A and B are shown apart, each in its own frame.
Chain A
Amino acid sequence: MKEELQELYKYRELLFMIAYRDIKVRYKQSVMGFMWAILMPIIIVSAGVVVRYAYALSAHKPLDVADIASVAVKSIPWAFLVSSLRFGCNSLILSNKDLVTKIYFPKEIFPLAAVLSSFFDFLVASIALSLFLLGIHVGASAALIWVPLLLMVMIVMIAGVNMVAAAASLFFRDVKYIVEVMLTFGIFFTPVFYDSSMLGDKGKWLMLNPVSPLLEGLSDCVVRHQAPNLVWLAYSCVFAFVVCTGGYIFFKYLEPAFAESI
């Protein structure tokens, strides 16, 4: 395990190179590139606003600016998760098939690079989001210091899931369809368009989804200017650590069989 991590460190330049390649290729067709980074989040945010508007109508309450801001703040990390997993699933079998069978290097670079390049899209979208939040006068506070930690936990978690998904889809070609279905319906089991508090007591069941505390945490510290719920955050941290370590071990266990199974 230690040797493998050292080797990954040795190949860190390649990790950035592959991520850079993916970004470059995506943005080379500049229209498509910015569509990925901006248009996708805009669509998700608009969908969230529609849902929020429907809630407000049926509850006979006015639609708050803070609610819209909260939907936007949660949608964009969700879009990051979706795009990471989507690229991650295909990272070994589609885009880099030749490299997997022909050249030796630590192959976890591919799912990890998928996370990195999606994170770049996330950063581009975040700039747009910040401007939007400034525009609707959300304001800033000391609670923003939680943001890097929350994002880091999220990256670690996605990286772990991505390694599992990438390795599994190499052996079973229907894994990516399963992942696709989970991503499509996952948004209903995650507080993206709504808040867990809207479910009342049962909201805590929703928080068992390890992504929920992170999204709620982001919304708390960016929009509501308060610290996230530390108990749930700790839960997500532990989950992220376990899934990342487990995912790495799983990936490394299967890696020697990649070249002959693809």
Chain B
Amino acid sequence: MSDIALQMDHVYKKFRKGEIFDSLRDLIPALSGRIFRQQEISGNDSREFWALYDVSFEVRRGEAFGIVGHNGAGKSTALKILSRIMKPTKGQMIVNGRLSALIEVTAGFHQDLTGRENIFLNGTILGMSKREIASKLDQIIAFSGLESFIDTPVKRYSSGMYARLGFSVAAHVDPEVLIVDEVLSVGDYVFQQRCMERMRSVINSGTTVLFVSHNLKAVTELCQRAMLLDHGKAVMIGPTDSVVRRYLNDALKPNVEENKALYISAVRVRDRSGEQSKFESGQTAWVDVEVTALQPVESLAIVLWFADETQYIIFDTSTERLGRTPFSLQAGESYRSTFELSLNMAHGTFHVCAAVYRYDVQKEYDRKAPAATVFVGSNMAVRGAVNCFPKIVEAGNIVPDHSYECKV
């Protein structure tokens, strides 16, 4: 058996932007026109674009491999080619072993059938045999947590229940190679945790996993190696940490618009020795925010906030609220303000975001969200969003004090 589970070898995929003919009514006149006038229809290259351009990578057996990239970078196309829904325009790909794709887990559902019937239907679509589904039926229902609704037609389900049932079926396929596209974002928090748990155990059991997500935390947690796609090209392949950092840096390139009165020209995160992105929980960090004006503007304040991977704002401050008087700038002038902060977050990835705001007229001039990313590490036994620096100051057996127990 070969050591490679998945391989793409110089894969190209070309798409046409507009559909030229999708009815015979249009096609026949066009064809006859071409015959009489000797026109070329294929010469029009501007309609074509490469969704994947010379992409090569390989995933070893038992490895978890991530693909990151902005919307339209070609991630889904790559997955569709690997799962054989589409054929590459050029190039080869190899899949060793039974492959299952969690691309659209509810695609096989039929509205009028009950949850139970849909488990069988969707399971068969995903490649399970009827006997296999029957043997796992109880497990699937239990995983979905929909025991009491399982004989209700799925059209009466909420969208969350719908997606949960879909994932529950898909999670029990037991493939040798699993392709996952953004399905972990379904359901409530508890269900998402259950999905992550399931993904971990799938990976630990030796299944090869190809994982695509915008949830960078999940990618970093689950995958050892990753690939960064940008406009169809594989920009970087390597350890997930560095690929994710590169992706974030690329995404944050300055982007100056002509019509802006001012823009945020730099946001730097430093520790005592210089620019830094890795911090220990509780460490002090300095954040420089630099603003450059293109037109004269007055009474400005700088707003600084931190968001977690889900874009939830965990901290927010501003020069105004910190007691600084608003500043004004002439065209061409720059302004810098440095914030000193102690990073009392628990372990995680956090986005540093900044905006320039004028409080009296409530106008935002520019915003960078995120402007930088910090990774906060902690070796302390804490979980959650913040680090309250817990210590045990006293512990031991006690004699319970019953004096304030309720009397019946």
Contacts and interface: CB of A to CB of B under 8 A. Distances in A.
A178 B125 contact: no
Given A24-B117, A259-B80, A98 B104 contact: yes
Contacts of A13: 124, 129-130
Interface in A1-51: 13-14, 17-18, 21, 24-25, 28
Interface stretch (A69-77, A101-109, A157-165): A101-109
Nearest to B16: A260
B107 A98 contact: yes
B245 to A, nearest CB: 32
The A interface is mostly helix, strand or loop, or mixed, namely: helix
A185 interface: no
A102 B87 CA distance: 13
Contact of A172 (B23, B101, B121): B23
Contacts of B101: 103-104
28 contacts: A13-B124, A13-B129, A17-B121, A17-B125, A18-B121, A21-B121, A24-B117, A25-B112, A28-B112, A98-B104, A98-B107, A98-B108, A99-B108, A101-B85, A102-B103, A103-B83, A103-B85, A103-B101, A103-B104, A103-B125, A104-B84, A172-B23, A172-B27, A174-B23, A174-B25, A178-B24, A257-B87, A260-B86
Contacts of A62: none
Q: Which 6 pairs, one residue from A and one from B, show the smallest C-beta to C-beta distance? A: A102-B104, A256-B87, A98-B107, A102-B107, A17-B124, A174-B23
B218 interface: no
Interface string B111-147: 0110001001100111101100000000000000000
Interface in A107-126: none
Given A14-B124, A24-B117, 17 more contacts: A17-B120, A17-B124, A17-B130, A25-B113, A99-B108, A101-B85, A103-B83, A103-B101, A103-B108, A103-B126, A104-B84, A105-B125, A172-B24, A172-B27, A175-B24, A259-B80, A259-B86
Interface of A: 13-14, 17-18, 21, 24-25, 28, 98-99, 101-105, 171-175, 178, 256-257, 259-261
B243 to A, nearest CB: 27
B123 to A, nearest CB: 9
Contacts of B104: 98, 102-103
Contacts of B15: 260
Given A14-B124, A17-B124, A103 B112 contact: no
B107 A99 contact: yes
A64 B83 CA distance: 61
The listed residue with most B CB atoms (<10 A of its CB), out of A98, A104, A256, A257, is A104
Given A173-B22, A259-B80, A260-B15, A21 B87 contact: no
Contacts of A256: 86-87
